[in-house]
Amino acid sequence: MEPAALAKLLQAASGDRPVMLQVGSHIMFAQSHIPGSVFAGPGSQSSGLHLVETKVASTPRSKLIVIYCGCCPWDRCPNIGPVYKRLRELGFTNVKALYLADNFGNDWVAKGYPTDKGE
C-alpha cells in the first residue's frame, strides 16, 4: 500500500479504521508513528512475532491490517516479511504492508502525513 493511499484512507475513515501495527523498533515508534497505530514489536524477532499475535488476537480475520516499519529501505527491511507471513498463517485475509521505499522519515513524515509521538 502506498503512503498516499493510506493517508487518504485514514482521512476518510470515520469509524472503521484499519488495525495499524508498527513492526520496527520501539525507539522509532516513540519518536514518530502513524496516529492510531500500535507498537507490535520488531517482526524479525520471535518476541516481536509473539507481540503481533497478542495485538491481533481478538481481531476479525477479514479486518484490514496495515503493517509498517520504515527502519531502512524497503528491500532491506527485516521486519515486514516475517510479520506479513505470520499474519497470513494466522488466517488474516486482508493484510497490507505500507510501502516505505527509503524509510519512515522520508516516505511519511517528510511528506507531511500525520504523526504522533510517544508511548
Domain spans, the chain:
3-7+18-109
Confidence at residue 89, expressed as pLDDT on a 0 to 100 scale: 97
The pLDDT assigned to 119 comes to 74
Asked if residue 60 has pLDDT above 70, the reply is yes
| Residue 12: pLDDT band with limits 50, 70, 90 | confident
Question: Contacts by 58-63 with C-beta closer than 8 Å and gap 24+?
Answer: 59/19, 59/92, 61/90, 61/91, 61/92, 61/93, 62/93, 62/94, 63/18, 63/19, 63/92, 63/94
Using DSSP, state whether 109 is helix, strand or coil.
helix
| pLDDT of 118 strictly over 90 | no
Which residues have CB under 8 Å from 25's CB, separation 6+?
42, 71
Q: Please determine, looking at this structure, whether the domain spanning 3-7+18-109 carries the CATH number 3.40.250.10.
A: yes
Angle, CA 76 vertex, CA 85 and CA 2 arms, to 5°: 70
pLDDT tens for each residue of 22-46: 999 999 999 999 999 999 999 999 9
φ, ψ for residue 76, nearest 5 deg: -120, 0
